[in-house]
């Protein structure tokens, strides 16, 4: 099959996103990464949750599953188990992934299926019109927190790392080149890759704007103490005060869920279901 | 002397080993050629708490418990206190009097007592109190004539894994039990005798095993679940077997994950299922609607237990029917099948997978603790009769790029399905309302048409659904409607009433949704009395029937909601009452 370009991963569906939304950057980086990796649309299964970010599954030409709020990861995990030949990617917002889906997030990561999870972090709930999300700063003023958000923000990547993530990275939707690199590396990584993308909500989040991010980010790779193979150093990078690190923060090789469950090489979805009659009958001996 | 008919109860504290011994005896009876049914009544705790195990053995096939127990093996006083009233006059009690005695009214004089210091013999003669269960087995063998060869062979088989010494210890325990009876109760007959017949080609199996086995044979290769009584057996069974057949089982972090994983695997083309009980079913509700709108075939087994909330986890009830029919926001087509026997637990599970694939919707297999954790003897399943119909699944190479519409409008509402990996089949499966190509839209005309497409499946599929079964006298004036675990006690009630010349007909519903309106209307029509037998307080099935029949005097509910299944007499008695009054009942 011919090599495809980013355009081949685009659907004709008109976007529901606001002009200027950070999610456009994520979509375009994703399409480029897939094309650069030589993937075919029918070999890609893309799963998303609910939120502005969750709409992304409608704009990517592939097999796509737009489920319910917070449940993208169990679906994606099962898709991979059902057909390990597929490139499986899940995506959603910070609310989707770290609030309603926090339990699944931790457990998907600890299982380590070979999937990629992209969290589109705008530090607010976009689709429900701007409430505080788990990543909003303490004091963030919004419709449901008029006196300021009383809660501490969650550090999703550190949470993922603590749960045993084997690939942890962060990108910025306005830095497309780096983001494409990160997503490529995440897809190529064998195991569960978490990619958090700073993706500004231009409509509701008037604090964490493009300009704010430009001021608050730094490229982790440019620091001399950056060592993506060391877990403690990665924790350090993710949790220290100061600028938000971008790039691949941590990466490690560990057996995947597919390997640990001794999944057959031939995808389960392709198994013939008719051949085992004799073996079925043998099982009944136990009940005689 | 009562020959080849015995309902035996083992009672003691949970963890005492009543359940293992019960299972062992059930196996012995089966190998003696008798028909066996077992029922477990155990508390929701690991050690302590009264537990009992009922084993019924006779020459006829049994699908439920008898009215009363013939024999009680009581490992403590509490077991006597709890069950002495359930004993049939003329029955017998084996009581472990090592540290407690039974007197006063508890010591019924119309039953034979065998006071045997089981624990003492175990400790003093065999050096291990744990084997008192096995001693009781020897006692019973001597009292009712259990085949000595079979008993010894089965005990050997059960304890083989634990080594020679353990086998030997248990064999000596049996001998000790037999010897005690010979020595102390030589002239005191139990009144019961069992005679071995050829076993024939039969199985003894629990309902949950039959469901799990049915799923495997139907081609299920993915299961995700979260442990919950009484459904866990299925998850355990599948964990052991699926990997051997190339499949995979995931112990999910909760039921939300279990059902969404099941959807993910089914979306990808694998036959997939999950199994749960009330509380877990409540959590799965969110994703049931998703399965409906995405038109994904999934099978969900619900092993119902007593609610509300955590209720009584190890007891039986039929109170989740409404939940299964109506659960979820919005409206989707769904199917609910309810096996009434262990055979049907197998056949209806295999049917569930075909219906799910053929119609691309969620199919529930609804069972109850009283059925799914019971064992019975049965003929081996007919594997040749199992067909695998994957429905309209598009194979690789069948599609031209750019033309595929996942949710295409068709006459029967079923759109050919492309699974991930199939060239040209790319589409968005959107939980939001979408058009035929899967694109999200709020267009009014499309919305109405999509609703009609999805909901229309319920009508289109009617002919393919498992039909209700008519038992008893087809034109009797007295009628019963019921399903699930109650099938057994109702069938027995019908047979016994027939023997009393009171003809009764029984409609056993096997598809509960879409509700079999035509069958029920025809059945109810013309009956003077229609009893709706169900294990719940509100009469969920009765209300469904009333919706079909309209106002009707003939209908009355016969309900039990104490967590225990019906005894046949509880169905027989009210019907006998009506027949005796002669109220428009023709006695033929
Ligand atoms: C079970 C459930 N609860 C609530 C909602 C409403 N809801 C839709 S999107 C959303 C939050 C989205 O926030 P986020 O995940 O950060 O995505 P964003 O829109 O900001 O991209 C909520 C609460 C829902 N759809 N489902
Ligand atoms: S509301 Fe915010 S997150 Fe949603 S599309 Fe608009 S800019 Fe993007």
A82 reaches B (C-beta below 8 A): yes
**Is the bond leading into B514 cis (omega within 30 degrees of zero)?**
yes
Which residues on B lie below 8 Å from A269 (Cβ)? 268-270, 419-421
B245, B250, B264, B443, best to mutate vs chain A, most A CBs in 10 Å: B264
Whether B234 contacts B242, CB under 8 Å: no
Which residues touch B226 (CB under 8 Å, ≥6 apart)? B251, B252, B253, B254, B255, B257, B258, B276, B280
Token digits of residue B96: 């472990």
B374 reaches A (C-beta below 8 A): no
Report the sign of the C-alpha dihedral through residues B551, B552, B553, B558, in that order: negative
B389 reaches A (C-beta below 8 A): no
Is the distance from the beta carbon of residue A69 to the nearest atom of ligand 1 less than 6 Å?
Answer: yes
Total CB pairs under 8 A between chain A and B: 182
Q: What is the pLDDT of residues B398-429, one digit of tens each?
A: 998 888 999 999 999 999 999 999 999 999 99
Segment B120-138 mean pLDDT: 95
- Taking residue A281's Cβ as centre, other Cβ atoms within 10 Å add up to 13
Which residues on A lie below 8 Å from B267 (Cβ)? 65, 75, 79
Instruction: Name the burial class of residue A108, with classes exposed (0-12), middle (13-18) and buried (19+) by CB atoms within 10 angstroms of its CB.
Output: buried
Instruction: Name the burial class of residue B186, with classes exposed (0-12), middle (13-18) and buried (19+) by CB atoms within 10 angstroms of its CB.
Output: exposed
Q: Does the pLDDT value for residue B588 go beyond 70?
A: no
B236, B257, B298, B345, best to mutate vs chain A, most A CBs in 10 Å: B257
Q: What is the pLDDT of residues B139-185, one digit of tens each?
A: 999 999 999 999 999 999 999 999 999 999 999 999 999 999 999 99
Judged by its nearest atom, the ligand closest to the C-alpha of residue A69 is 1
Please identify, by atom number, the ligand 2 atom nearest to the C-alpha of residue A55. Answer: 5
Reference A174, options A8, A1, A21, A5; nearest CA is A21
If DSSP codes are grouped into helix, strand and coil, which group holds residue B98? coil
Rounded-to-integer distance, Cα B193 and Cα B189, Å: 9
Segment B370-392 mean pLDDT: 97
Q: Does the pLDDT value for residue B582 go beyond 60?
A: no
- Helix and strand numbers (H, E) in chain B are 18, 23
What's the pTM value of the predicted model, to 2 decimals? 0.96
Angle at B312 between CA B310 and CA B317, to 5 degrees: 105
Whole-number percent of chain A with pLDDT over 90: 95
Report ipTM for this prediction: 0.98
Q: Does the pLDDT value for residue B356 go beyond 60?
A: yes
Order of all β-strands in the sheet with B504-509 = B469-472, B504-509, B478-483, B529-534, B555-559
> Is B256 in Cβ contact with A65 (below 8 Å)?
no
Is the distance from the beta carbon of residue A196 to the nearest atom of ligand 1 less than 6 Å?
Answer: no
Rounded-to-integer distance, Cα B291 and Cα B429, Å: 10
In this predicted structure, what is the pLDDT of residue B581? Answer: 67
Which residues on A lie below 8 Å from B432 (Cβ)? 66
Q: What is the pLDDT of residues A164-175, one digit of tens each?
A: 999 999 999 999
- Select the residue of A64, A83, A279 nearest B428 (Cβ to Cβ): A64
Dihedral (C-alpha) B429, B431, B432, B435: value to the nearest 10 degrees? 30
Is the distance from the beta carbon of residue A183 to the nearest atom of ligand 2 less than 6 Å?
Answer: no
What's the DSSP call for residue A268?
A: G
Q: How many angstroms away from the CA of B582 is the closest CA of chain A?
A: 47
Residue listed under structure tokens 């999910």 = B252
Judged by its nearest atom, the ligand closest to the C-alpha of residue A18 is 2
If DSSP codes are grouped into helix, strand and coil, which group holds residue B71? strand
Token digits of residue B183: 């020595």
CA distances from B311 to B26, B151, B154, B308, B562 (A): 29, 38, 37, 5, 11
Rounded-to-integer distance, Cα B276 and Cα B229, Å: 8
Kindly report the average pLDDT of chain B as a whole number. 95
Which residues touch A179 (CB under 8 Å, ≥6 apart)? A25, A26, A29, A171, A172, A173, A197
| Neighbouring-strand partners of residue A47 | A65, A90
- What stretches of chain A show up as alpha helix (H) in DSSP? 23-36, 72-82, 94-95, 102-111, 156-162, 176-188, 210-216, 231-239, 257-260, 277-283
Rounded-to-integer distance, Cα B138 and Cα B142, Å: 6
Rounded-to-integer distance, Cα B394 and Cα B192, Å: 62
Which residues touch B562 (CB under 8 Å, ≥6 apart)? none
Segment A138-157 mean pLDDT: 97
Report the sign of the C-alpha dihedral through residues B166, B172, B174, B177, in that order: negative
> Is A280 in Cβ contact with B431 (below 8 Å)?
no
* CATH superfamily placement of domain A15-286: Thiamin diphosphate (ThDP)-binding fold, Pyr/PP domains (3.40.50.970)
Which residues on B lie below 8 Å from A276 (Cβ)? 245
Q: What is the pLDDT of residues A35-74, one digit of tens each?
A: 999 999 999 999 999 999 999 999 999 999 999 999 999 9
Q: Which helix (H) or strand (E) holds B372?
A: helix B369-372
Rounded-to-integer distance, Cα B111 and Cα B102, Å: 13
Q: What is the pLDDT of residues A278-288, one digit of tens each?
A: 999 999 999 99
Whole-number percent of chain B with pLDDT over 90: 91
B-chain residue closest to A69, CA distance: B286
Please identify, by atom number, the ligand 2 atom nearest to the C-alpha of residue A93. Answer: 3
In this predicted structure, what is the pLDDT of residue B46? Answer: 67
Dihedral (C-alpha) B310, B316, B322, B324: value to the nearest 10 degrees? 80
Q: How far is the CA of B289 from the centre of ligand 2 (A)?
A: 27
Which residues on A lie below 8 Å from B256 (Cβ)? 71, 74, 104
In this predicted structure, what is the pLDDT of residue B547? Answer: 95
Q: What is the pLDDT of residues B479-523, one digit of tens each?
A: 999 999 999 999 999 999 999 999 999 999 999 999 999 999 999
Mutate to test the pocket of ligand 1, among A26, A127, A204 (most ligand atoms within 8 A of CB): A127
- What stretches of B269-341 show up as alpha helix (H) in DSSP? 278-294, 321-326
- Compute φ and ψ for B78, nearest 5 degrees: -55, -40
Whether B389 contacts B357, CB under 8 Å: yes
Judged by its nearest atom, the ligand closest to the C-alpha of residue A99 is 1
Which residues touch B256 (CB under 8 Å, ≥6 apart)? A71, A74, A104, B283, B284, B286, B287
Dihedral (C-alpha) A21, A22, A26, A28: value to the nearest 10 degrees? 50
Reference B175, options B197, B147, B142; nearest CA is B142
- Select the residue of A68, A86, A270 nearest B431 (Cβ to Cβ): A68
If DSSP codes are grouped into helix, strand and coil, which group holds residue A248? strand
Which residues on B lie below 8 Å from A264 (Cβ)? 246
Mutate to test the pocket of ligand 1, among A55, A71, A96 (most ligand atoms within 8 A of CB): A96
Whether B131 contacts B169, CB under 8 Å: yes
Segment B542-552 mean pLDDT: 94
Q: Does the pLDDT value for residue B586 go beyond 70?
A: no
Q: Residue ranges of the domains in chain A?
A: 15-286
Is the distance from the beta carbon of residue A53 to the nearest atom of ligand 1 less than 6 Å?
Answer: yes
B-chain residue closest to A285, CA distance: B203
- Select the residue of A64, A77, A266 nearest B261 (Cβ to Cβ): A77
Q: Does the pLDDT value for residue B299 go beyond 80?
A: yes
For chain A, how many residues are written?
288
A103, A273, A277, best to mutate vs chain B, most B CBs in 10 Å: A273
Whether A119 contacts A92, CB under 8 Å: yes
> Is B248 in Cβ contact with A261 (below 8 Å)?
yes
Q: How far is the CA of A175 from the centre of ligand 2 (A)?
A: 18
Which residues on A lie below 8 Å from B425 (Cβ)? 42, 63
Q: How far is the CA of A127 from the centre of ligand 1 (A)?
A: 6
Whether A60 contacts A116, CB under 8 Å: no
Q: How far is the CA of A26 from the centre of ligand 2 (A)?
A: 13
Is the distance from the beta carbon of residue A126 to the nearest atom of ligand 1 less than 6 Å?
Answer: yes
Token digits of residue B530: 């229609």
Q: How far is the CA of B254 from the centre of ligand 1 (A)?
A: 20
Shortest-distance Cα residue to atom 8 of ligand 2: A21
Lowest mean pLDDT among A192-196, A225-229, B99-103: A225-229
Please identify, by atom number, the ligand 1 atom nearest to the C-alpha of residue A50. Answer: 9
Which residues touch B35 (CB under 8 Å, ≥6 apart)? B57, B58, B59, B60, B61, B62, B376, B377
- Taking residue B70's Cβ as centre, other Cβ atoms within 10 Å add up to 23
Q: What confidence tier does B585 reach under pLDDT thresholds 50, 70, 90?
A: very low
In this predicted structure, what is the pLDDT of residue B253? Answer: 98
Judged by its nearest atom, the ligand closest to the C-alpha of residue A96 is 1
Which residues touch B389 (CB under 8 Å, ≥6 apart)? B354, B357, B358
Q: How many angstroms away from the CA of A204 is the closest CA of chain B?
A: 23
Q: Which helix (H) or strand (E) holds B41?
A: strand B35-41
> Is A41 in Cβ contact with B253 (below 8 Å)?
no
């Amino acid at each position: 099959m011919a090599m495809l370009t980013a355009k081949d991963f685009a659907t004709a569906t008109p976007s529901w996103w606001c002009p200027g939304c950070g999610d456009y950057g994520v979509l375009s980086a994703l399409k480029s990464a897939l094309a650069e990796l030589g993937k075919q649309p029918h070999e890609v299964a893309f799963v998303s949750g609910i939120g502005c970010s969750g709409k992304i599954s409608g704009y990517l030409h592939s097999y796509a599953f737009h489920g319910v709020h917070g449940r993208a990861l169990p679906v994606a995990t099962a898709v991979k188990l059902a057909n390990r030949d597929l490139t499986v990617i899940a995506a959603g917002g910070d609310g989707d992934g770290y609030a309603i889906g926090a339990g699944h997030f931790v457990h998907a990561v600890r299982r380590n299926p070979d999937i990629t999870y992209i969290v589109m972090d705008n530090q607010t709930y976009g689709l429900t019109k701007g409430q505080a999300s788990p990543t909003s700063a303490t004091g963030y003023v919004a419709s449901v927190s008029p006196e300021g958000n009383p809660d501490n923000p969650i550090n999703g990547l550190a949470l993922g790392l603590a749960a045993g993530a084997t690939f942890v990275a962060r990108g910025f939707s306005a830095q497309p080149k780096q983001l494409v690199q990160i997503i490529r590396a995440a897809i190529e990584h064998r195991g569960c890759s978490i990619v958090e993308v700073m993706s500004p909500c231009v409509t509701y989040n008037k604090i964490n704007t493009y300009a704010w991010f430009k001021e608050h980010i730094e490229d982790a790779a440019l620091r001399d103490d950056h060592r993506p193979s060391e877990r403690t150093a990665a924790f350090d990078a993710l949790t220290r005060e100061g600028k938000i690190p971008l790039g691949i923060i941590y990466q490690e090789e560990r057996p995947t869920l597919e390997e640990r469950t001794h999944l057959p090489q031939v995808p389960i979805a392709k198994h013939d279901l008719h051949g085992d009659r004799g073996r079925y009958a043998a099982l009944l001996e136990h009940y005689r | 002397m009562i020959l080849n008919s015995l309902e035996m109860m083992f009672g003691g504290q949970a963890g005492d080993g009543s359940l293992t011994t019960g299972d062992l005896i059930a196996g012995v009876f089966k190998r003696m050629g008798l028909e066996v049914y077992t029922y477990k009544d155990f508390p929701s705790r690991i050690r302590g708490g009264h537990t009992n195990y009922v084993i019924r053995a006779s020459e006829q096939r049994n699908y439920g418990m008898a009215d009363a127990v013939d024999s009680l093996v009581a490992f403590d006083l509490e077991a006597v206190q709890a069950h002495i009233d359930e004993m049939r006059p003329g029955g017998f009690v084996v009581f472990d009097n090592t540290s407690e005695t039974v007197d006063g009214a508890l010591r019924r004089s119309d039953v034979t007592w065998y006071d045997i210091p089981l624990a003492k013999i175990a400790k003093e003669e065999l050096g291990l109190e744990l084997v008192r269960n096995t001693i009781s087995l020897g006692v019973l063998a001597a009292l009712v004539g259990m085949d000595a060869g079979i008993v010894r062979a089965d005990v050997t088989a059960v304890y083989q894994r634990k080594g020679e010494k353990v086998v030997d210890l248990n064999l000596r325990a049996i001998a000790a039990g037999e010897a005690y009876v010979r020595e102390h109760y030589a002239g005191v007959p139990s009144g019961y005798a069992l005679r071995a017949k050829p076993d024939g080609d039969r199985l003894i199996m629990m309902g949950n095993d039959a469901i799990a086995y049915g799923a495997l044979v139907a081609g299920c290769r993915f299961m995700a679940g979260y442990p919950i009584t009484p459904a866990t057996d299925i998850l355990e069974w599948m964990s052991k077997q699926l990997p051997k057949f190339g499949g995979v089982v995931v112990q999910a972090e909760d039921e939300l994950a279990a059902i969404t994983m099941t959807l993910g695997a089914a979306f990808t083309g694998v036959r997939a299922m999950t199994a749960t009980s009330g509380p877990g079913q409540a959590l799965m509700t969110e994703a049931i609607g998703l399965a409906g709108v995405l038109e994904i075939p999934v099978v969900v087994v619900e092993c119902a237990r007593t609610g509300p909330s955590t209720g009584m986890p190890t007891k039986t009830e039929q109170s989740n029917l409404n939940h299964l029919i109506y659960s979820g926001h919005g409206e989707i087509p769904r199917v609910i099948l309810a096996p009434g026997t262990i055979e049907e637990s197998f056949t209806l599970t295999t049917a569930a997978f075909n219906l799910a694939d053929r119609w691309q919707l969620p199919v529930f297999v609804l069972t109850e603790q009283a059925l799914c954790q019971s064992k019975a003897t049965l003929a081996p399943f007919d594997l040749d009769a199992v067909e695998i119909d994957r429905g309209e699944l598009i194979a690789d190479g069948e599609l031209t790029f750019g033309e595929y519409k996942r949710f295409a409008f068709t006459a029967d509402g079923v759109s050919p399905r492309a699974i991930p990996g199939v060239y040209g089949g790319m589409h968005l499966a959107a939980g939001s309302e979408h058009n035929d190509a899967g694109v999200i839209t709020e267009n009014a005309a499309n919305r109405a048409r999509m609703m009609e497409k999805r909901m229309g499946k319920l009508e289109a599929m009617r002919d393919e659904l498992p039909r209700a079964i008519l038992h008893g006298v087809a034109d009797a004036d007295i009628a019963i409607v019921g399903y699930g675990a109650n099938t057994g006690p109702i069938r027995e009630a019908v047979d016994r009433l027939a023997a009393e010349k009171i003809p009764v007909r029984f409609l056993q519903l096997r598809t509960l949704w879409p509700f079999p309106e035509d069958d029920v209307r025809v059945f109810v029509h013309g009956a003077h009395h229609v009893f709706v037998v169900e294990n719940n307080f509100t009469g969920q099935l009765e209300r469904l029937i009333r919706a079909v029949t309209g106002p009707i005097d003939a209908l009355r509910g016969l309900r039990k909601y104490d967590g225990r299944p019906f005894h046949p007499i509880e169905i027989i008695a009210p019907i006998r009452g009506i027949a005796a009054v002669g109220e428009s009942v023709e006695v033929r």
